[in-house]
Structure 1
Amino acid sequence: MTTTRAGVRAGLPRQRGVPSPAEDPPPIPDSGGAPAWKKRINSHELFVHDSIDSLGFDWERVANPGIAPRFPRKIYLPQTTEDVVAAVREAKSLGEQLRVRSKGHSSNDLVVTDGGSVLLTEKLNGILEVDRAGMTATIQAGAVSAQIDDHLSEMGLGLPVIGDHNHITAGGFASVGGISPASHRFGLFVDTIERLQYVTWDGELVTCSREENAADFHKVLCGLGRHGVMATITVRLIDIDKYTTVLKNHQTHYWDVATFIDGAAQAIRNPGEALYERGVWIDFPRGDGGSFGLGQFSAYHPTEQTTYARLRDRVAYDALHGLGYVGGRLPAPLDQALKYVGMTGVVFSPAYATVKNVEFFTDKVLDSTVGDPTRMFIVLAPLDRFEELFRETYDLMRRYRAERDCFTFISVYVKGITSEYLATEGRGKQFCELMFFQGMSAGGMDEQALEDLVTELDDICIAHHGFRYMHTKTSKDPARRAEVDPNAYWTRMAEQQSAAAAKEEIVGA
């Protein structure tokens, strides 16, 4: 085991092969000799995270490429927990309000500031400890989940829930929830976190877990950075070989939306032996003002690890990943056409896939910055509301397209989620995700139209006792936001506990 300069400052050794701030990321393991480009495809070639220019933008730039930048005036670049404490205390002494930013995936005005100060977690990126006996890993909040998983793969381990491309950090994922095709088994990413350290906005370092300071623990998760800066996270691990384990895709195709809703609902409620699952319905406009749609649901089951299965996986995904690689490198009309070919490839998914190909499938085939600008809207709701929720939200999107000409294609990705974190105020643990991934028409959605849409979407969500995924656009109305925010309950509980403790202290004195 080696110790780097950053590891010494943090008081913890880094694992061998884990980068110090001055080193390159660990190499991605060789999954059968495939060229490196097949494992490093960027799902948004025209949006570069690691550049000074990117600091003026968030994910809104993908939906609105002409948006003006909002550049910060000051950047804090901590490498250790002590650096975070120092930065927060300095900002407080100067009367500055810090925004916390990892890679800028939010599109809800969370990580950009015009002329303000940003704490960038780019170099807070180490894997501090892997506890094989306890099946946990302790990582810094700015570590990219894909790189963590690649390092763990060398030990036959993996993250149960991982972001779907190679720029999602552990802290960013924990600040919003974190969903994957395995969420029907493992829940949100926050459901897999055991302990964390964070720095309050007063500059105090707090250690908390499910047992220790549990109120602080739950209010920081999904907290969008409101309560402080996450510094380290300890997350559960699973035994798995994601790069070589092949699964069989039991998929069903649908040609009308009513049949898709019924079929997806049944699959989500009864996953059986499915280790990973997802469904998608895509609605394309027609020239006559109508539309046509098609959909599928994929449930990935264990299968015999044969040469045939591995070959089917490799041939199919080489072709699909080739589409993803070429996207963004061709003239615009060809890029647009390739995007639709890629969407067809998502609907007609390969029959066999490695676990890693399942986890990264969509983002390695479809580039969000190619073709029509795209926007996401994500809803989480109790599973027993799935059918009604799908119909109402889907009808809402189609109505906005018909009346305001704001969307081109409409796609809805659906998954099941079993989450303790979401199971509040009488909700059970069984949830569903509806992720709308929309093509945006040129000039079809101004700020007012967007606010109108998300207000109606929030109201549907509230009516079904659901939540929004808060890094996608929500209404600006504080009352609505509080109702759809999964963190609001835990913050309220923490405040009540703190008030009760203060009252008890006064009475005791």
Structure 2
Amino acid sequence: MSIHLQPGDAGYDDNRKALNPALDPYPAEVVLAETTADVRAAVLSARRRGLAFAVQATGHGTHVAHDGALLLRTHRMASVLVDPDRRIAKVGPGARWGDVLAAAAPFGLAPLSGSSPDVGVTGYTVGGGLGWLARRHGLAADSVQRARIVTADGELVTADADRNADLFWAVRGGGGSFGVVTDLEFRLYPVSRVYAGAVTFGRERAAETLACYRRWIEQAPDELSTALLLTRDGRLVVKAMYSGDDLDRGRRLLAPLWQAAGPPLADTMQVVDYAGAAMGGTFARTFDQVRALSDDLVHALVNEPDTTVEIRHWGGRIARDTGAAAHRDAPLSVILDTVPSARVTDALARDGIGSSFLNFLPDPSRVETAFTPANWAALRRVKAAYDPGAFFSAGLAVPPAALQASA
């Protein structure tokens, strides 16, 4: 049975907060759900009372304070079931990647998890899910096989390739504004050991290393994922994960980058269990994808002060899949943890495509930039079909086509 908390109740303050310390939300009620029936009841209660509605499991990805809303917490619905024969995991909306990693690892299987085991599975997946196995196996959203969803009218529907196929397409990367996902089934992959970690260098040869990187990625196999970081403390870091069968090949493939960067200051690259290879990430205050690293962009990024910059290689299976999430044809993304200088802004305006990625997007006003124009139009049509009144409008929401057309 669900627990209902109002302001002043014991536990209300602990459950109303997001992980973002800049937010201090005061919802009208917090509902701690334990079953799908609890989720349906919460949706119908919010509708009956005219309350805005928001969902939160771990609190990752919460970008606005849901004051006055009914906040549904799903962290108690954290079930994980693994079918090793079918290579499928079925999870509840409160499950975290650490739960799935622990359940799948004994069978030599791996999910397309994120960079931290503490991140919630469902929010990460419906937002696209760019993990360290993405170049080999695709975005996490593309691995979804089935979802059960409570829609805006309180109905529980199954969405897969045969049933509610339009909704199935939309929730695989279109975000959480199409309903409350109560069960998610997705593929697992035969990955148990990987060659992963990071090598840290001084920053003296950063420009030469980035110039090498833009040539090097053209020959990188899908089994190898990499990111280059220019850190606030003046270091250059090469992060990598190789998931091929011959793990020694990973070191050989990476050698040209390390040679370009100069003598290493630290090296954590090693063969480890995939479940133990948490790789971390960079807070994305600024994000764009680029088709190439021009000399101007390299120069601007290398000389950007008091900033951490992450340049990440996409491509591979990501580019070959056709799901709703992301702009698939750009080979690189650029993340900064600050608002960039005019020099970087101008360079990104020339080389970037003006995109965002839902999992990295802190600004609800820019949701459209996370999708191609065709996919954005299709997502809005699906939204209009399943939630024409925009009941699910909190956070990174897709507006219904009818609302935008009549504005």
Measured against the shorter chain, the TM-score band is 0.7 to 0.9
| CA distance 1:89–1:68, shift in 2 (3 Å) | closer
Equivalent in the alignment of 1:387: 293
| CA distance 1:202–1:391, shift in 2 (3 Å) | farther
Equivalent in the alignment of 2:225: 277
SS at 1:143's partner residue?
coil
Q: Deviations over 1:90-119 (max 9, x none)?
A: 11111111111111122532xx31232211
Residue identity (%): 19
Equivalent in the alignment of 2:75: 122
| CA distance 1:490–1:303, shift in 2 (3 Å) | closer
Equivalent in the alignment of 1:74: 29
| CA distance 1:486–1:132, shift in 2 (3 Å) | same
SS at 1:206's partner residue?
strand
Question: Structure 2: how far apart are the matches of 1:409 and 1:233?
Answer: 37
Amino acid at match of 1:350: T
Instruction: State the 1:265 CA deviation.
Output: 2.6
Alignment of structure 1 residues 362-441 onto 2, 5 Å: 362=280, 375-377=283-285, 379=287, 381=289, 385-388=291-294, 392=297, 395=300, 401=305, 408-417=306-315, 418-419=317-318, 429=329, 431-437=331-337
Instruction: State the 1:214 CA deviation.
Output: 2.5
Q: Deviations over 1:411-437 (max 9, x none)?
A: 325232432566779965564333334
Question: Structure 1: how far apart are the matches of 2:326 and 2:109?
Answer: 35
| CA distance 1:214–1:260, shift in 2 (3 Å) | farther
Alignment of structure 1 residues 7-22 onto 2, 5 Å: none
Question: Structure 1: how far apart are the matches of 2:13 and 2:296?
Answer: 40
SS at 1:395's partner residue?
helix
Instruction: State the 1:358 CA deviation.
Output: 6.7
Instruction: State the 1:169 CA deviation.
Output: 1.4
| CA distance 1:137–1:275, shift in 2 (3 Å) | same
Which of 44, 58, 61 pairs up with 1:89? 44
Alignment of structure 1 residues 25-44 onto 2, 5 Å: none
| CA distance 1:149–1:142, shift in 2 (3 Å) | same
Alignment of structure 1 residues 466-485 onto 2, 5 Å: 467-474=355-362, 478=365, 481-485=366-370
Residue 492 (str. 1) matches residue 390 (str. 2): no
Question: Structure 2: how far apart are the matches of 1:143 and 1:434?
Answer: 29
Equivalent in the alignment of 1:259: 208
Question: Structure 2: how far apart are the matches of 1:453 and 1:52?
Answer: 41
TM-score (norm 2): 0.72
Question: Structure 2: how far apart are the matches of 1:349 and 1:488?
Answer: 42
Question: Is this contact kept in 2: 1:461–1:468, CA < 8 A?
Answer: no
| CA distance 1:255–1:132, shift in 2 (3 Å) | same
Instruction: State the 1:227 CA deviation.
Output: 1.7
SS at 1:348's partner residue?
strand
Equivalent in the alignment of 2:274: 356
| CA distance 1:158–1:485, shift in 2 (3 Å) | same
Question: Is this contact kept in 2: 1:296–1:347, CA < 8 A?
Answer: no
| CA distance 1:351–1:377, shift in 2 (3 Å) | same
Alignment of structure 1 residues 211-250 onto 2, 5 Å: 211-241=162-192, 245=193, 247=195
Question: Is this contact kept in 1: 2:287–2:356, CA < 8 A?
Answer: yes
Q: Deviations over 1:74-105 (max 9, x none)?
A: 11222222221121111111111111111112
Unaligned residue ranges in structure 2 (runs of 5+): 4-10, 249-263, 386-407
Question: Is this contact kept in 2: 1:462–1:483, CA < 8 A?
Answer: no
Q: Deviations over 1:148-167 (max 9, x none)?
A: 110111222221x1122222
| CA distance 1:347–1:88, shift in 2 (3 Å) | farther
Instruction: State the 1:275 CA deviation.
Output: 3.1
Equivalent in the alignment of 2:95: 143
Which of 110, 117, 138 pairs up with 1:187? 138
What is the alpha-carbon root mean square deviation over aligned residues?
Answer: 4.3
| CA distance 1:214–1:57, shift in 2 (3 Å) | same
Unaligned residue ranges in structure 1 (runs of 5+): 1-5, 7-20, 22-50, 62-66, 286-291, 307-345, 364-373, 402-407, 439-449, 501-509
Instruction: State the 1:144 CA deviation.
Output: 0.8
Greater mean deviation of Cα atoms: 218-227 or 199-208:
218-227
Question: Is this contact kept in 2: 1:144–1:170, CA < 8 A?
Answer: yes
| CA distance 1:93–1:196, shift in 2 (3 Å) | same
Question: Is this contact kept in 2: 1:462–1:484, CA < 8 A?
Answer: no
Instruction: State the 1:464 CA deviation.
Output: 3.2
Question: Is this contact kept in 2: 1:56–1:70, CA < 8 A?
Answer: yes
Question: Structure 2: how far apart are the matches of 1:138 and 1:422?
Answer: 23
Q: Deviations over 1:455-509 (max 9, x none)?
A: x969947973353133545556x4xx14412287445215547989xxxxxxxxx
